[in-house]
Amino acid sequence: MTADRRVGRGVLEGAKRVVVKIGSALLTNDGRGLDESAIGGWVDQMAELHRRGVEVVLVSSGSIAEGMVRLGWQTRPTAVHELQAAAAVGQSGLSQCYETHFARHHLRSAQVLLTHDDLSNRKRYLNARSALRTLVQLGVIPVINENDTVVTDEIRFGDNDTLGALVANLLEADALLILTDQEGLFDADPRHDPAARLIGEGQADDPLLDAVAGGGGALGRGGMATKLRAARLAARSGAVTAIASGRQPSVLTRLLEGESLGTLLHPDHAPLAARKRWLAGQLQVRGTLTLDAGAVNVLRSQGSSLLPVGVKRVQGTFRRGDMVVCVDEQGTRVAKGLINYSSVDAMQIVGQPSQRIAEILGYMEAPELIHRDNLVVI
């Protein structure tokens, strides 16, 4: 964590494209329906940023919470079909609310509902990217949410922090601004520990932060744990992440003026190429490969392909082309990538030199288990 906050904060002053994420805990005023006047205030700030030439993309939660209020439900349902119904009812209110407020500034907004599949299927990912880029070029503010009505638990992002980060990656935004109900990331959950202190600045990948970022409240989903993960994903395309209270007056404009508000998490490595970012953003992993120390070393230091000879164990059931995660012998995640062999075939060739693949399987798809172009070190 750096001492001189002005230096670090300067990065936000130069931001030209930002993704703003507004969470359920904040939007719904702790369960009392959409907080229209607060939403009006954030829209005013986004309109001001737009006027200053900053491209703004919004990821907004609130459909389920608003749907619950409209349906008269006191507690968040757990059944998927009820969540889907609440989202369908609430999303139209959410969209209408933004539309009305942006219209006060003569700005158009566009509702964009995305699912996990839209970002994991490469073709749909590229489609989503060009549609969003076009909206931004047209001066429209995209208002994005997860398409909760059609997703099931297995394929949902669940929290919009992750969605916000993937959108930041997709659009190569300079910053991800996460507005929530706390002043930022504290060294303990302030809801439970009144002595918790705000962390002003840090590196997104700092492993010490894992221990402090806890889960969320009743309405929000992920808490700080998913905000930290989002900051790490956003860092892959070079974006800085700010986590700040949406209740601070003029929070968005002040952040972009470089003021010390909330927590700023910096990327600490060079941005990944677009394809590697897409790989890094994949959340559904079908299997695990345990690598020996030599393979871990060449993956990390040389960015090599993964050969069967460096793999000690295969777990899970997967097909050729599925995403698998690679771990070292202590279980620490090293990389993930798209595998060239099914789990049945991979189990037979691991530990073997590539020249033996054809002899063992009767065919050889490729000499490597995962080609370096399809592999990202994490």
354 is in an annotated binding site: no
Least distance to ligand ADP, CB of residue 69, Å: 15
Task: Choose the one of ligand ADP, ligand VHF, none that binds residue 224, judging by a C-beta under 5 to 8 angstroms depending on kind.
Answer: ligand ADP
| 24 touches ligand VHF by CB under 6 A | yes
Task: Collapse the DSSP code of 91 into the 3-class scheme (helix H, G, I; strand E, B; otherwise coil) and give the result.
Answer: helix
Nearer Cβ to ligand ADP (83/323): 83
CA quadruple 253, 259, 263, 267: dihedral sign: positive
44 is in an annotated binding site: no
Least distance to ligand ADP, CB of residue 88, Å: 20
Q: Which residues contact 374 (CB under 8 A, 6 or more apart)?
A: 279, 337, 338
| 161 touches ligand VHF by CB under 6 A | yes
206 is in an annotated binding site: no
Which member of 5, 17, 191, 286 binds ligand ADP (CB under 6 A)? 191
Q: At what angle do helices 63-71 and 80-104 cross, to 10 degrees?
A: 100
d(CA 17, CA 173): 5
| 61 touches ligand VHF by CB under 6 A | yes
d(CA 375, CA 303): 8
Task: Choose the one of ligand VHF, ligand ADP, none that binds residue 149, judging by a C-beta under 5 to 8 angstroms depending on kind.
Answer: none
Task: Choose the one of ligand VHF, ligand ADP, none that binds residue 146, judging by a C-beta under 5 to 8 angstroms depending on kind.
Answer: ligand VHF
Letters for 222-241 (x = contact with ligand ADP by CB under 6 A, - = none) are xxx-----------------
d(CA 52, CA 224): 30
| 220 touches ligand ADP by CB under 6 A | yes
Q: Phi first, then psi: what are they for 292, rounded to 5°?
A: -80, 170
Task: Choose the one of ligand ADP, ligand VHF, none that binds residue 357, judging by a C-beta under 5 to 8 angstroms depending on kind.
Answer: none
Task: Choose the one of ligand VHF, ligand ADP, none that binds residue 213, judging by a C-beta under 5 to 8 angstroms depending on kind.
Answer: ligand ADP
Instruction: Restricting to residues 36-65, name those near ligand ADP by CB under 6 A.
Output: 61
Letters for 216-255 (x = contact with ligand VHF by CB under 6 A, - = none) are x---xxx---------------------------------
| 374 touches ligand VHF by CB under 6 A | no
The stretch near ligand VHF (CB under 6 A) out of 126-134, 159-167, 187-195, 250-258 is 159-167
Nearer Cβ to ligand ADP (189/206): 189
d(CA 280, CA 286): 14
Nearer Cβ to ligand VHF (63/305): 63
Q: What six digits make up the tokens of 155?
A: 């394929």
| 23 touches ligand VHF by CB under 6 A | yes
Least distance to ligand VHF, CB of residue 264, Å: 19
> Over the range 14-31, which residues count as b (16 or more CB within 10 Å of their CB) and which as e?
ebebbbbbbbbbbbbbeb
User: Are residues 210 and 234 in contact, defined by beta-carbon separation less than 8 angstroms?
Assistant: no
Query: Taking Cα atoms as reference points, which of 354, 356, 351 lies closest to residue 311?
Result: 351
User: Are residues 182 and 30 in contact, defined by beta-carbon separation less than 8 angstroms?
Assistant: no
336 is in an annotated binding site: no
Task: Choose the one of ligand ADP, ligand VHF, none that binds residue 174, judging by a C-beta under 5 to 8 angstroms depending on kind.
Answer: none
| DSSP assignment letter at 33 | S
d(CA 87, CA 73): 13
Sheet of strand 287-291, all strands in order from the earlier edge strand to the far edge? 311-316, 287-291, 323-327, 333-338, 375-377
| 176 touches ligand ADP by CB under 6 A | no
DSSP states along 47-85: HHHHHTT-EEEEEE--HHHHHHHHHT-SS---SHHHHHH
Task: Choose the one of ligand ADP, ligand VHF, none that binds residue 141, judging by a C-beta under 5 to 8 angstroms depending on kind.
Answer: none
Letters for 64-103 (x = contact with ligand VHF by CB under 6 A, - = none) are xx---------------------x----------------
Q: Which residues bind ligand ADP (CB under 6 A)?
A: 23-26, 61, 180-182, 185-186, 188-191, 212-217, 220-224
